[in-house]
Amino acid sequence: MSDTTLFKVTIDNISIDVPAGTTILNAARMIGGDVAPPAMCYYSKLEGSGGKCRTCLVEVSKGSEKDPRPMPKLVASCRTTVMDGMEVKNITSPKVVDARAGIVEFLLLNHPLDCPICDQAGECHLQDLSYEHGKEGTRYEFQRRTFKKHDLGKYIQLHMTRCILCYRCVFAADQLTGKREHGILDRGDHSEIATMIEKNLQNDFIGNVIDVCPVGALTDKTFRFKNRVWFLKPMNAHRDCPTCSGKVTLWNRGEEVFRVTARKDQWGEVEEWICNECRFEKKLSSDWTIEGPRLIDRHSVISQGHYAGTVGTNMPTETIEAVLNGRKPKLLMDIHEVSEVNRPHIELSKINGPAHSNNFNPDND
Amino acid sequence: MEALTSRSVQVSRKPMSLAERLFLPAIFKGMGITFSHIFKKQPTIRYPEQKREFSPVFRGLHVLNRDEEGRERCTACGLCAVACPAEAITMEAAERLPGEEHLYREEKYAAKYEINMLRCIFCGLCEEACPKDAIYLSETFAPANYTRKGFIYGKDEMVIPNVKTDPEGYAKAKGSPRNN
């Protein structure tokens, strides 16, 4: 691949010059916006990813300047490189939109649709994709694939039922850690992500498989069922970490750190990998230097009720004292006297793993 | 000028006649109207004993539903809380332990669920948001209280009686079917 040859490619009537060897998907991402096809399995930071999920299908209406014939079928844009003078239709082609809606339904065939339980809900790419295409329900009436849930080590929970077999985690584990311990067992309908004989995944960077997972198949056990992502405030923070860059997003509620994730860019991809110590063990605000609120997409449920970039920073102002010339109200109800939720002395974020009935037992107070 | 209504009457400024100056005929006419109401149908409803029928879309106090096996339906997904415009709903989730399958329908459940009835505006958006048919607005008023503390409703106030272990309580809570 030489950087000098630039190919002119037109995607949805927008032209751009890209280096030869660029895939259609990456060319579309350079244009940005709605032109970029969605991708469930392609991950620009993982070599060899892509070509599995088929959500990035596009129509090539003109092959190239030299051979202007259209490609006979829709092509996977993450695996097709651009040609000079290529014309691509993504959202302007009804064929593509229709095919993609079908792909979403196929992806949801074996998906349990247990979004109310799933910790990924609210930041799930499959959820976004299915709602974008109006396929959030299902027409499938038969028994779905079922698997038992696995613990991959003490930090990662694997829900194989939710998996769409995108292989991102396999690539991530392989390329980040250099020692591959998990992969896909069996074939076809039976294939499942697994570690051989329930072997623990123990590696400094293995927590990143949680971030690369586009669905809720791999989730953080230290955050499991603690809170919903849209009730947390995402804050950019950093610390001096000897193993990784230490640049993370903290998901706070009040001062409690409920979850630590890597920072994700506009395509939902991790900007910098973070180590397990940062991700799972630093759950105190004193461990971190907070930089400020993270910019959350206006359309995300996480930013509901907030303006973009202000999630968690809007504090209510006390009006009574201002109105009464500084006098305090005589009757105040401290909500913690009555309420059993968010009790100050129970810090859910400090419980290892999900809370159980015994954590809320009055005897433990 | 065209009259706004056909029923308008020109005010008469004529001096009153003797019969009018006695006032008695007018008094008897007025009392006649008053006493004629004794024989008409009473619109008053004697509230605590008698209750007016609610509209089918009435939105009252919340109940948390159970399924037909008596397991709690709520999975603490937080959609009611995010839909709530008054931010009245708070909850804390927990994972179902082995052996609690008869209590909770899904692997996650609301260990604590509270609605602040002082904040609630009874808009019913929580009911609409619920993906699990767990929360419903019933046909009961929020009762009056002397302190604000009594308006923080927890799970013990809202979860309906278990049809398996407490069938009488369930039947009582369900009430009699609507007549219409």
Q: Which domains does chain A have, with CATH numbers?
A: 6-105 (3.10.20.740), 141-220 (3.30.70.20), 229-303 (no CATH), 326-364 (no CATH)
Structure confidence at residue B109 as a pLDDT band (50, 70, 90): very high
Q: What is the pLDDT of residues A4-26, one digit of tens each?
A: 789 999 999 999 999 998 999 99
Q: How much is the average pLDDT of A145-170?
A: 86
CATH of B62-172, one of 3.30.70.3270, 3.10.20.70, 3.40.190.10, 3.20.20.70: 3.30.70.3270
A95 in contact with B at a CB cutoff of 8 Å?
no
In this model, does residue A181 exceed pLDDT 70?
Answer: no
Q: How much is the average pLDDT of B100-110?
A: 91
> CB–CB of B90/B83 below 8 Å?
no
> CB–CB of A151/A221 below 8 Å?
yes
> CB–CB of A208/A273 below 8 Å?
yes
Interchain proximity A341–B148, CB inside 8 Å = no
Q: List the single best residue of B79, B80, B90, B92 to mutate versus A (max A Cβ within 10 A).
A: B92
In this model, does residue B180 exceed pLDDT 50?
Answer: no
Structure confidence at residue A199 as a pLDDT band (50, 70, 90): low
Q: How much is the average pLDDT of A104-130?
A: 91
Residue A99, pLDDT score? 94
Cα A107 to Cα A116: distance, rounded to the nearest angstrom: 18
Map out the domains of chain B as residue ranges.
62-172
pTM given for the model: 0.83
In this model, does residue A223 exceed pLDDT 50?
Answer: yes
Residue A334, pLDDT score? 84
Burial of A362 (0-12, 13-18, 19+ CB in 10 A): exposed
Residue B10, pLDDT score? 86
Interchain proximity A115–B131, CB inside 8 Å = yes
Provide the mean pLDDT of chain A.
Answer: 86
Q: How much is the average pLDDT of A199-207?
A: 73
Closest residue on chain B to A343 (Cα): B92
Q: List the single best residue of A228, A336, A358, A360 to mutate versus B (max B Cβ within 10 A).
A: A228
In this model, does residue A3 exceed pLDDT 70?
Answer: no
Determine which of A28-42, A213-227, A293-307 has the lowest per-residue pLDDT on average.
A293-307
Q: What is the DSSP string of A179-222?
A: S--EEEES-GGG-EEEEGGG-----TTTTHHHHH-SSSSEEETT
Residue A94, pLDDT score? 93
Q: What is the pLDDT of residues B31-56, one digit of tens each?
A: 999 999 999 998 888 888 888 888 88
Residue B42, pLDDT score? 87
